[in-house]
Structure 1
């Protein structure tokens, strides 16, 4: 199991020492570094900056939102970054949620799976560069039909030859059908709140997707890149305290009531009643009580927390999962110690 480092997205301003963290991660043996986007910083620009200063570490988006770019624009960015980085880019895509898609991008959210399937198919056409790109789907039509525009559109092929026609595409997926879709059409899966307790169920869903593949790609090459909070402290409780606000935000403050896909993952882990309480406090504006309602056992389900000896013991369950890259979410100052633990030191 490899490890990578998650830089996430910016908060109110650019994070300090981010480049130094990326360089440290590369020197410590990280396989990859990943950036995110919500409705502030984008996921692609920082990777170009970090890629210019690194030589080995892979550069991934976790995630680039579908609604932020047309599929051809996403493919253009991917092939550009892949050339600039010498073949180190990984295009992680995700549908996001209705609040962001409809509130920030002004686009309809329904049928995200069908939209994702069409989107990936167009990106793969661009990267293959075998013919001018065409699409006649429900969501993406290339060229635009003549009766809907100026009537002058024509099918085009990228002027730039992609460095890799098989540039890896990963999908962020949380629901069962979306997880199976990732295994069917993508090269990797970016889960949220992965728990070793759900490993058998996840393997079964991935197996459904692999069985539906029609392009000949080998399932043995499929990646599972799982973001995992890793916190080192004097005790499990002290470390869990640093993760509780993150869990409370995603379980109670993300999405809308009844349409929070992050919370649904925790529901399937058996934490539905706890999430009801977290969400009720969060929506009432009492974030402190929402955070306090996150049990340590829930944190232990989805994170690695405690002293180095605690984390070393917890890692045993994670090493046997379908995860191929454990994507560390951690204080940069603890990276050397975390890297040592992940290497088996």
Structure 2
């Protein structure tokens, strides 16, 4: 199983020690480094800036939000970064949710699966650069269907370094996971649990069946909290606030994809309680309501021996890469435990 480094979201500014951590990840033999975007920093600029300090490690976005850019703009950025990195770029895409899409980008959030399919298709066409790009879809038209009539099909002036840049799809629901297997090169799960492996294998099989094959190099890069600590409860306490935010506050009560993941995992009552407390302004109580068992299902926490024992279940799952977070010292510590 490969290791990757996920820098994560910025808070009020750039994370301290990011370049040192990225260089450490490359030194330790990590396979990839990833950036994120929500409604603060973007994913592409830091990846280019910090990625310039590396020479081997893959550079990925986890994720570029589709509503933030047109498909052609994303394809342009992908080709640019692929050239600048010498063919190390991985494009991680995601639909995000209506709270961000409508509230921040001012874009509608209809039919995310169909929209994702069109988006990926256009990006593929631009990068392949086989002919001027046209697309007559429900969500995207190239040239624009009801414009001035002066638009014409265009082909990128830049020749791609690679005519096929890997695209990974961030997905949590079964239909979106199946879509990643059907049209993409990888899947970026969040809150994956080895207990749910059969469920996700089924979704991936459905997508591969529609594709007509299962690519041997299909990647599943899962963000997994790993905390080496002699006290399991203290380690769990470090994760609880972030989980409470995702389960309770990342989305509306009527539509929260993260909440749904834990409900499917068997924690419906817990997820409902955490959401109720969090949306009611009781964030500390929401975090305290998360049982350690839920954290252990989606994380690797505790003493080294415990983590090594539980790692076996992850190695037997569909996951091909564990994405870790933290500073350079943490990466060295965790890499030593997982190696």
Partner of 1:71: 71
Partner of 2:274: 278
Partner of 2:179: 181
**Does structure 1 residue 110 correspond to structure 2 residue 106?**
no
Partner of 1:257: 253
C-alpha distance in structure 2 between counterparts of 1:150 and 1:117, whole Å: 27
Partner of 1:299: 295
Partner of 2:286: 290
**1:17-72 CA distance string (max 9 Å, x none):** 11111001110111000011000000000010122110011000000000000000
C-alpha distance in structure 2 between counterparts of 1:201 and 1:100, whole Å: 28
C-alpha distance in structure 1 between counterparts of 2:299 and 2:329, whole Å: 18
C-alpha distance in structure 2 between counterparts of 1:266 and 1:331, whole Å: 28
Partner of 2:262: 266
Question: Could you state the TM-score of these two structures normalised by the residue count of structure 2?
Answer: 0.98
* Secondary structure in 2 matching 1:221: coil
Counterpart selection for 1:309 from 305, 311, 335 = 305
Tell whether the 8 Å contact from 2:21 to 2:327 is kept in structure 1 after alignment: no
Unaligned runs of 5+ in 2: none
**Does structure 1 residue 164 correspond to structure 2 residue 147?**
no
Partner of 2:36: 36
* Secondary structure in 2 matching 1:220: coil
Counterpart selection for 2:323 from 327, 333, 337 = 327
Q: How big is the shift at 1:307?
A: 1.4
C-alpha distance in structure 2 between counterparts of 1:41 and 1:126, whole Å: 26
C-alpha distance in structure 1 between counterparts of 2:27 and 2:295, whole Å: 29
* Secondary structure in 2 matching 1:209: helix
C-alpha distance in structure 1 between counterparts of 2:55 and 2:198, whole Å: 36
Partner of 2:243: 247
C-alpha distance in structure 2 between counterparts of 1:87 and 1:246, whole Å: 34
Tell whether the 8 Å contact from 2:17 to 2:327 is kept in structure 1 after alignment: no
C-alpha distance in structure 2 between counterparts of 1:245 and 1:329, whole Å: 16
* Secondary structure in 1 matching 2:318: coil
Q: How big is the shift at 1:333?
A: 2.5
Runs of 4+ off more than 3 Å: none
Q: How big is the shift at 1:331?
A: 4.7
C-alpha distance in structure 1 between counterparts of 2:129 and 2:56, whole Å: 26
Tell whether the 8 Å contact from 2:197 to 2:318 is kept in structure 1 after alignment: yes
Partner of 2:197: 199
**1:59-91 CA distance string (max 9 Å, x none):** 000000000000000000000000000000000
Tell whether the 8 Å contact from 1:231 to 1:331 is kept in structure 2 after alignment: no
Tell whether the 8 Å contact from 2:7 to 2:325 is kept in structure 1 after alignment: yes
Superposed CA RMSD in Å reads: 1.0
Partner of 2:10: 10
Tell whether the 8 Å contact from 1:182 to 1:188 is kept in structure 2 after alignment: yes
**1:143-196 CA distance string (max 9 Å, x none):** 012xx2222100000000111111100000111100000000000000110000
Q: How big is the shift at 1:329?
A: 2.7
